[in-house]
Amino acid sequence: VTHELKTPLASMRILVDTLLEGNYRNPQQVTEYLQLVSKENERLSRLIDNFLTFSRMERNKQAFQMRNVSATSIARTAAEAARTKLSRGNCRFETQIPDELPMIRADHDAMVTVLVNLLDNAYKYSGDEKQIRLNATSEDGAVRFAVSDNGVGIPRRALKKIFRRFYQVDRSLSRRAEGCGLGLSIAKFIVDAHHGKITVESKPGQGSTFTVTLPVDADAP
């Protein structure tokens, strides 16, 4: 974790120092360095967001704002938040989100975080021709959100462990893919607080589907 925090800081520092010393060949190189600084900055902000949620979680201080919210709005907000990244080059991102999903008792922003974490993973753990879907449905008194990808998949032996804090199937791949093993544990913590379920089905080499099921009944938390 220390490494995850220090690396982006160190690269930003080197890039900024280089620019301050006037060590560049042309204006284009200045732009390139600034773009790298901006990318590292974005990466660091995402990491810090996850760390903050995680530490609040540890101290049991994560207060959820449970309200009656539309499941359609949760899914659409998450899709919009992820769309910029997911519509880059060789990624096909499709959604199926009906207009009239039921209202559920939920913390809107926390549930958006769950879906954004799943979409982010779908992107990170897929190869060159990415196909990512977000489907939302309602049936049997429950709302179901499913995020699927055609990525590397998850070996059987790891399926239960991936929801644990800091667990990563492949540390070297994960490191390249920018992560520290907290995204899914945060997602599970939030879904549990909603009395819901998060499950995964995966075929190694073919892809994975993460499903979040939340109860619709009026007495839900």
Nearer to ligand ADP, 72 or 208 (CB): 208
Residues in the chain: 221
Give the Cα separation of 204 and 152 in Å (integer): 6
Whose Cβ is closer to ligand ADP: residue 124's or residue 133's?
A: 124
Identify whether the C-beta of residue 148 lies closer than 8 Å to the C-beta of residue 125. Answer: no
Strand partners, 148: 133, 209
Amino acid at 198: I
Q: Which stretch binds ligand ADP (CB under 6 A): 9-17, 26-34, 61-69, 149-157?
A: 149-157
Contacts of 204 (CB under 8 A, 6+ apart): 152, 153, 154, 155, 156
CA proximity to 132, closest of 212, 214, 42, 210: 210
In the region spanning residues 157 to 216, those forming contacts with ligand ADP, defined by CB under 6 A, are 162, 167-170, 174, 179-185, 208
Q: Which residue is nearest to ligand ADP (CB)?
A: 179
With binding defined as CB under 6 A, does residue 122 bind ligand ADP? yes
**Closest distance between ligand ADP and the C-beta of residue 71, in Å?**
22
Cβ at position 18, least distance to ligand ADP in Å: 29
Q: How far apart, in whole angstroms, are the C-alpha atoms of residue 32 and residue 71? A: 41
# residues near ligand ADP by CB under 6 A: 23
For 8, residues 6+ apart whose C-beta sits below 8 A from its C-beta are: 40, 41, 43, 44, 47
Residue 29 Cβ vs ligand ADP, minimum distance, rounded to whole Å: 32
78 contacts ligand ADP (rule: CB under 6 A) = no
Q: Check if the beta carbon of residue 185 is closer than 8 Å to that of residue 112.
A: no
CB of residue 21 vs ligand ADP: minimum separation in angstroms?
A: 35
Binding residue for ligand ADP, selected from 114, 154, 191, 214, defined by CB under 6 A: 154
Q: For the chain, percent helix, then strand, then coil, each to nearest 5?
A: 50, 20, 30
**Closest CB 107 distance from ligand ADP, rounded Å:** 20
**Site of interaction with ligand ADP (CB under 6 A):** 121-122, 124-125, 149, 151-154, 162, 167-170, 174, 179-185, 208
